Amino acid sequence: MDRFMLLFLTLFSTYAIWSCPSDEHLDNPVCRSLSQYRTHVLEPYLLPPIQNALSHPSVAPVVSKIHAIERTVTPVVVRTYAIAQPYISKSAKLTQSGVNRTYKTLVLPQYEKYVLPQYRMRIAPYVNQLNDRMIEPYLTPIVVNTHIYTNKGFVYLHRIYTTVQPHVQSAYVRVRPHAQRAWTNAKPHLVRVVDSLQALLTVLVEKLGQLRRLYVDPHVMRIWDKVVELSGPTKTTPVTPAGETKASSIAPTESVSPSQTIIATPSPSPPITQEVETESAAPEETLSIVEPEETAVDAETITETNVEETISASFVAEAEEVLSASSVIVQSISPSSPVESVVASEESIEEPLSEEDDLQSFLDDLGILDETEPEEEVTEEDLLEEVPTNQTPEEAMASNIAAATEADRQAREARKEQTAIKRKAIEDRHRRWAYGLDELIHKKTREVRKELVRLRKGAVKSLGLDAKAKKEQEGQIQQKDEAELDEQLTHIDGEPVGDLLQLLEGEAGKLLKGLEGYLKKEQKEADAEDRLRKWMAVSEKVRSKFGNKVTEMREKVHRWYVGVRDLEVQECVAAATEIKNYAEGAQADLGLDYAWLDDVTYQDWQKYHDLMREFRKFEQEIQLVQNGSHANPPIDPLIPALDNLQTELEDVISGFEHSIRVLGMKIREVLFGPEEDNEPVIDVSEPTQPEEEEMFSILPIDPSPSAPSSPDKEGTEETTEFDASQVILGKGKEQVEEALKSVSVETPAHEEL
């Protein structure tokens, strides 16, 4: 765990060092968090003790040497980095490609060859066993129940959402103009109220400061006097951090002695910022110090007064950070002897401009100004120009707060302008994406409809219902592109779809020829009943084989029809996939921009999701177009063509059955002779007709047998009453056999004999 935390901290630090220096606007959340941490934790609590330690006399010389070395080395490092950066990038790319190649060619094969089999053989069984015994029995019910209740909850929430959403939307649309109008009317009043509150807050802070100085500072001064008494007259160094907290980072290289600290801190503000009105107080302090005989006593007096001033100034140090920094800079470079400090203070009062020039040149020689950032220098000068020197600390604080508020307002306005520019760019891109999606949807809708019509017409032509249509189809296919009609559209199991009916007719012709050949071999014999049974068995097999051929043809036509519909579905899916890819690309291009937009609204996200809604709408519409449920569907000539094919198939089946009946009459003449009046035997070859009629729904066709040789009308009436279609049609096999047994084929022959 410790190693993992160390690795995580290393990666996090590397990422922060790599990304945050170039992130000026703190757009990265990591950089923004680190900046907040620095502002609220690092600078107020951690850096001041470190800066005080670095400003200690024993450490300051070393720090100054380090800064000198840094100033010398920094340009060399910057130039070296600028020169080496291209080579580092190239080497990183080459190294990455080499590592990937090594991983794919060496590491991964070895892992799959040695490590993975061992894991599967030695570890995976125990893991699976542990999972089956310890995890699955307890986890599976929880997951199942959670899934069930989650789905129920989603359904319930979706129902609530669909019920409430229209009302909320309508209420929002109605309330929004009134809210905007109310905000427009109330905004000036609110601005005035906020300004008044800020002024009142400033006055309140001033009053609280007066109360603090009246009731709190005396007690603090007494406590501090006791501290000074117990600490001795020479221990005055703890006073200096109150004025050097913010300035120690600016001038840490100067070591300040106690005497210098006492002399250099007569007031909380630097001598440069004082006006002529404060000159009356300065000579009193300097005159009290000039006495050479009472140096120690004066030092103690000055220390006490400086302590009082430092304590009173420390309460407003946060509002006067820049002024305190400038005062500490002046204090750190003050002369070392008391006499020189007195002369310097007198000269600073009499000739402030010359002292400022000398101070500037002295700081330039030391190189202190090189360490400060240009932005801090400009801010300090601006503050010194904006804040008059005759203001009280509370007034200065109020003016600084007002300036900060104004700067914040300007920053917000600038950010609003940037946000408006970003929004305009995003909306323009969104509009272009939506327009392109709409154009693509219309284009694909037209293309899909044309492709469906082309496929269906090609399927109808591939049926080849007659020779003329087949010749026309072949001529059209030769004129068109060879890839226009797919093999799936024209063939099934390697056979042309248009030849299936002709093949069936050929099979029927072969079967009928076989029956005719069998009929020619038959001769009139005494055992006519046995030969009749053989004929029935043969005709039964012929009908069964023909029925199998018809069923096979029906299955092929059905599979071919399903394949044609699959081609149509594939065209629709391809068009929908293209629309979906376009919509997903649009969402990928706009999603992050909307997420980072400051004033993004619910309507913006609805427009964002409308891109995928358009795809789903297109998918549903194209599905309705394909299955014929659309209000304006394309033509579908395939269904009428299949109906015609079914009609022709039924004609073929009827012709086959008619031929079987004719052969049945011929076998009667062969077995019983042409002069025998044996009417019930005429249709004995039709026992299995009901099975075919039930299977194919064939319209019965009466063979209309020849009239009997006997002129007796009663025989004719009996023949008319005994209709094979009425006896056999709709009967089962057992019923037909029983009916044939009841006919008694031999009885009329014996009666005639």
Q: Is 232 helix (H, G, I), strand (E, B) or coil?
A: coil
pLDDT attached to residue 486: 61
Taking only the tens place, the pLDDT of each residue in 142-175 is: 988 898 998 889 888 988 998 998 899 889 988 9
Does the residue 3 lie in any domain?
no
Q: How far apart are CA 412 and CA 405, in angstroms?
A: 10
Which position has the token pair 């002295």? 362
Backbone dihedral region of 592: left (phi > 0), alpha (psi from -120 to 50 degrees) or beta? alpha
Closest by CA position to 55, among listed 250, 234, 266: 250
| DSSP state, residue 115 | I
pLDDT attached to residue 738: 55
127-139 mean pLDDT: 87
Closest by CA position to 693, among listed 552, 557, 543: 543
Taking only the tens place, the pLDDT of each residue in 166-200 is: 899 889 988 988 999 999 999 999 999 999 999 99
Beta strands in 51-90 (DSSP E): none
Q: Are residues 361 and 446 in the same domain?
A: no
| Buried-state track 697-715, b at ≥16 Cβ within 10 A, e below 16 | ebeeeebebeebeeeeeee
Q: Are residues 209 and 276 in the same domain?
A: no
741-748 mean pLDDT: 43
Q: Are residues 265 and 146 in the same domain?
A: no
pLDDT attached to residue 424: 92
Does the residue 679 lie in any domain?
no
496 - beta bridge partners? 491
Amino acid identity at 160: I
Model confidence at 90: pLDDT above 60: yes
Q: How far apart are CA 373 and CA 322, in angstroms?
A: 13
Considering only residues 670 and 647, tell me which one the structure prediction assigns the higher pLDDT.
647
Q: Is 464 helix (H, G, I), strand (E, B) or coil?
A: coil
Other CB atoms closer than 10 Å to residue 23's CB: what's the count? 15
Q: Are residues 216 and 245 in the same domain?
A: no
Residues whose CB is less than 8 angstroms from the CB of residue 26 and which lie 6 or more positions away in sequence, other chains included? 32, 35
| DSSP state, residue 317 | T
Does the residue 255 lie in any domain?
yes
Does the residue 77 lie in any domain?
yes
φ/ψ of 709, rounded to 5, equals -70, -25
Considering only residues 680 and 493, tell me which one the structure prediction assigns the higher pLDDT.
493
| CA dihedral (727, 728, 729, 731) positive or negative | positive
Which position has the token pair 């006067």? 320
| Helix segments in 464-499, DSSP class H | 467-479, 487-490
491 - beta bridge partners? 496
Considering 390, 418, 441, which residue would you say is the last residue of a domain? 390
Closest by CA position to 216, among listed 340, 103, 315: 315
| DSSP state, residue 707 | P
Residues whose CB is less than 8 angstroms from the CB of residue 559 and which lie 6 or more positions away in sequence, other chains included? 492
Structure tokens belonging to residue 611: 């891109």
pLDDT attached to residue 199: 92
495 - beta bridge partners? 492
Let me know: does 690 contact 649? Beta carbons within 8 Å: no
Considering only residues 165 and 686, tell me which one the structure prediction assigns the higher pLDDT.
165
368-383 mean pLDDT: 45
Q: How far apart are CA 245 and CA 45, in angstroms?
A: 11
Structure tokens belonging to residue 694: 């039930």
Q: How far apart are CA 143 and CA 97, in angstroms?
A: 43
Model confidence at 639: pLDDT above 50: yes
Q: C-alpha angle 453/480/565, rounded to 5°?
A: 30
pLDDT attached to residue 523: 55
Q: Are residues 536 and 623 in the same domain?
A: yes
Amino acid identity at 300: E
Residue 632 CA: distances (Å) to CA of 276, 570, 574, 617, 621: 95, 21, 21, 16, 11
618-647 mean pLDDT: 88
Q: C-alpha angle 733/734/739, rounded to 5°?
A: 100
Q: How far apart are CA 508 and CA 520, in angstroms?
A: 19
Q: How far apart are CA 424 and CA 430, in angstroms?
A: 10
Q: Are residues 71 and 130 in the same domain?
A: yes
Taking only the tens place, the pLDDT of each residue in 207-217 is: 999 999 999 99
Does the residue 545 lie in any domain?
yes
Let me know: does 279 contact 257? Beta carbons within 8 Å: no
The mean-pLDDT minimum among 193-207, 273-287, 450-464 falls in 273-287
Give Cα 31 distance to the centre of its chain. 24
| DSSP state, residue 493 | T
DSSP code per residue over 579-639 = HHHHHHHHHHHHHHHHHH-TT--HHHHHHHHHHHHHHHHHHHHHHHHHHT-SSSPPP-THH
Considering 639, 666, 689, which residue would you say is the last residue of a domain? 639
Does the residue 46 lie in any domain?
no
Q: Is 491 helix (H, G, I), strand (E, B) or coil?
A: strand
Model confidence at 295: pLDDT above 60: no
Q: Are residues 379 and 460 in the same domain?
A: no
Q: How far apart are CA 653 and CA 68, in angstroms?
A: 111
Neighbouring C-alpha atoms within 13 Å toward the C-beta of 678: 26
| DSSP state, residue 135 | I
Taking only the tens place, the pLDDT of each residue in 556-609 is: 888 888 888 888 999 999 999 999 999 999 999 999 999 888 888 999 999 999
Taking only the tens place, the pLDDT of each residue in 214-238 is: 999 988 998 988 888 887 654 444 4
Does the residue 748 lie in any domain?
no
Backbone dihedral region of 388: left (phi > 0), alpha (psi from -120 to 50 degrees) or beta? beta
Helix axis angle for 638-672 and 500-521, nearest 10°, is 0
Give Cα 665 distance to the centre of its chain. 79
Q: Are residues 488 and 535 in the same domain?
A: yes
Q: How far apart are CA 196 and CA 191, in angstroms?
A: 9
Closest by CA position to 240, among listed 404, 431, 48, 403: 48
Q: Are residues 633 and 533 in the same domain?
A: yes
Does the residue 677 lie in any domain?
no
| Helix segments in 43-59, DSSP class H | 47-54
Taking only the tens place, the pLDDT of each residue in 401-428 is: 888 888 888 888 888 899 999 999 999 9
Residues whose CB is less than 8 angstroms from the CB of residue 156 and which lie 6 or more positions away in sequence, other chains included? none
3-state SS record for 257-292? CHHHHHHHCCCCCCHHHCCHHHHHCHHHHHHHHHCC
Taking only the tens place, the pLDDT of each residue in 481-540 is: 444 456 666 777 677 777 777 787 888 888 888 877 777 776 555 466 777 777 788 888
Q: Are residues 538 and 452 in the same domain?
A: yes
φ/ψ of 204, rounded to 5, equals -65, -40
| DSSP state, residue 495 | E
Q: How far apart are CA 266 and CA 480, in angstroms?
A: 105
pLDDT attached to residue 447: 92
Report how many domains make up the chain.
3
Considering only residues 507 and 610, tell me which one the structure prediction assigns the higher pLDDT.
610
| End-to-end CA separation in angstroms for the chain | 115
Considering 342, 367, 390, which residue would you say is the last residue of a domain? 390
Q: Are residues 324 and 224 in the same domain?
A: no
Residue 171 CA: distances (Å) to CA of 119, 333, 714: 62, 70, 94
Q: Are residues 68 and 117 in the same domain?
A: yes
DSSP code per residue over 161-229 = HHHHHHHHHHHHHHHHHHHHHHHHHHHHHHHHHHHHHHHHHHHHHHHHHHHIIIIIHHHHHHHHHHHHH
| Domain interval for residue 314 | 237-390
Backbone dihedral region of 673: left (phi > 0), alpha (psi from -120 to 50 degrees) or beta? left
